[in-house]
Each structure stands twice: as C-alpha cells, then as structure tokens.
C-alpha cells in the first residue's frame, strides 16, 4: 500500500488515489465515487474532507491537502488524529483473518488482525527460552510446567519447526501419547491463563507493532474467533451464533488483550 500521509491528492494519479484508505472509506458510503474522473474524485474528496465530521468518518486523510489545512482539525497532531479515528466495530481476529486492504493508517499493517493471534510469527523469550511464536511459548510452558515424562526432549522437538501449526500439534493428545508425556490437566488449567498473560507481556516487550496495534484498536471489542458449539462453548475465543446473532464463548484471549490494552493507555 502507498504511504500517503504527506502526498497531496491532487499530485496522485487516479489509480494511486484509489489505493488510499480515505478513498476506500468514501466509496463504502457513496458508490458513485467509483464512476468519477480523476478531477471529479479530487473535488469530491476535498469537499467531503472539509465538511464531514472527522471522527465519525474514521478517515485517514492527507495532511497537505487544502481541505485539511483549512479544517478545524489542522491544529491537531497527525498521530493524535489518526489514533483517534479507529471505530468501535468489533474486531474478530484469528491467524487467517482477512487483510484490511484499506490500511487504517501508515503505521498499522494490513494484517493487523492476524498480528493479534498467537500464531503470528512474532518471536518471544520466556524463562530464558526463545520461541518462534506465542503458540510455541504456550505449548512449551505446558510441557515444562504441567507435564511429566521426557519433557526436555519434547521441548527440543517443539523448537525444531517455527510453524505455529506444528507447535499446536506438539501440544495435542496424539503427540503427547507418542512422546510418552503425561499432562496434569488440573495443574494446567490452573496455570494456562497466567502463562498466556506472561506471553502477551513478553510480546509487548519484543514486538512494537503488536503494542501499536493494541493501542490503536482503542475501544474496539476484540474477539478471538474459535470454533465451538453452544453445548461446548470455546474457552480462548468465541463464535457468532447464527440463531441468536450473539457471540458464544468465553473469549479469554480477546479479553486478555483488551486488558493489556487498557494498561497501555494508563
């Protein structure tokens, strides 16, 4: 995506304008924008940017347009304005979340929802051990703190492959059985939320983009998508019920991320 924060609309070709977040948001509200010529698009954009409420539009706009410079918002800093334009729509995230093709603003990646997942390739260090992802750290701690058997060997096997899918399999019953590991379920149920909180803290220390996304998400409810049923609701996430239109599940991971976000804003 094009970094547009210091480029006036009037200096851009039409195709570049169509890649901007501002253009995408306006098209969502008024489909006729797609049919305008380049001059028509520029005139439309500058008019809309000059007269519409900034926050409710949730726009990332170009600072150097005449419309911006003459607006009542021009005295505010770019960072302050941009960070305040995140809407309050629920953000449902998981490892394969759709990309946000109209980038929220230049410092937030299009895959920001994926970044919130434990599967994202974000290396962390926990108890002196380097893990490729949060998912590796989660199952590594399960091996070390709540399992019995050849735990050292099992940990080395976990660390062999950087894939989070591989890490999840290493923490499953089938692999535990093949490796001769026994999981103390009671012990793990007591520890798992504390471990996940430590993983989030470690990620915030090592991954600045992760922290930036949490801060930018502001007041958005964060829901970790996880399959389940009403009879067996998910623990770490939730899913949207077609019958009730409500989310079913405890959404523990989403809740923890929102709690960590609140601390960042203190």
Q: Consecutive sets of 10 residues in the chain, 266 residues long: mean pLDDT of each?
A: 41 73 72 87 69 37 43 44 57 91 65 94 96 98 97 97 96 96 97 98 94 87 96 96 93 98 86
> What pLDDT is stored for residue 146 in this prediction?
97
CA dihedral 231, 235, 238, 243 (to 10 degrees): 10
Please tell me the pTM assigned to this model.
Answer: 0.70
> What pLDDT is stored for residue 70 in this prediction?
45
Strand pairing category for 129-131 and 247-248: unpaired
pLDDT per residue as tens digits for the range 147-169: 999 999 999 999 999 999 999 99
> What pLDDT is stored for residue 101 in this prediction?
64
Q: Which residues pair with 148 in a beta bridge?
A: 182
Please provide the DSSP assignment of the chain as one string: ----TTS-GGGS-HHHHTTSHHHHHHHHH-GGGGG--HHHHHHHHHHHHHHS-HHHHT----TTSHHHHTSTTTTS-HHHHHHTT-----EEE-TTPPP-SS-SSTTS-TTHHHHTSTTS---EEETTEEESSHHHHHHHHHHHHHEESSHHHHHHHHTT---HHHHHHHTSHHHHHHHT-EE-HHHHHHHHHHHHHHHHHHHHHH-HHHHHHHHHTTT--EEEB----SSS--SS-BEE-TTTSSEES--HHHHHHHHHHHHHT-
> What pLDDT is stored for residue 88 in this prediction?
67
Instruction: Identify the CA nearest to 58 among candidates 27, 80, 83, 75.
Output: 83
Say how many C-beta atoms besides its own lie within 10 A of residue 229's C-beta.
11
> What pLDDT is stored for residue 102 in this prediction?
59
Question: 126 and 199 in contact (C-beta within 8 Å)?
Answer: yes
> What pLDDT is stored for residue 27 in this prediction?
79
> What pLDDT is stored for residue 60 in this prediction?
40
Cα dist. 85→55, 110, 169, 201, 220 in Å? 5, 16, 39, 26, 11
Instruction: Identify the CA nearest to 77 among candidates 87, 63, 56, 65.
Output: 63
| Long-range contacts, stretch 150-158, CB < 8 angstroms, 24+ apart | 150/179, 150/180, 150/181, 151/181, 153/179, 154/179, 154/181, 155/129
């Amino acid at each position: 995506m094009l970094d547009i924060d210091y480029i006036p609309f009037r200096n851009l070709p039409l195709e570049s304008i169509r890649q901007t977040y501002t253009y995408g948001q306006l098209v969502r509200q008024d489909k006729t924008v797609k049919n305008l010529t380049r001059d028509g698009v520029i005139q439309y954009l500058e008019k809309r940017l000059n007269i519409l409420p900034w926050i409710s539009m949730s726009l990332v706009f170009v600072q150097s347009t005449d419309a911006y410079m003459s607006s009542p918002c021009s005295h505010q800093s770019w960072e302050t304005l941009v960070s305040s334009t995140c809407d309050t729509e629920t953000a449902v995230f998981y490892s394969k979340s759709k990309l946000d093709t109209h980038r929220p603003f230049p410092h937030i990646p299009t895959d920001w929802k994926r970044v919130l997942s434990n599967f994202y390739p974000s290396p962390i260090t926990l108890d002196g051990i380097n893990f490729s992802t949060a998912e590796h750290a989660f199952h590594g701690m399960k091996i070390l703190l709540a399992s019995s058997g050849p735990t050292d060997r099992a940990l080395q096997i976990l660390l062999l492959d950087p894939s989070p899918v591989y890490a999840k399999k290493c923490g499953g019953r089938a692999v535990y059985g093949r490796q001769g590991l026994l999981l103390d379920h009671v012990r793990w149920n007591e520890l798992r939320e504390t471990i996940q909180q430590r993983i989030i803290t470690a990620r915030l220390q090592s991954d600045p983009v992760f922290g930036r996304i949490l801060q930018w998400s502001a007041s958005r409810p964060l829901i970790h998508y996880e399959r389940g049923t009403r009879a067996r609701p998910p623990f770490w996430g939730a899913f949207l019920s077609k019958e009730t239109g409500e989310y079913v599940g405890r959404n523990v991971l989403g809740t923890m991320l929102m709690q960590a976000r609140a601390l960042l804003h203190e």
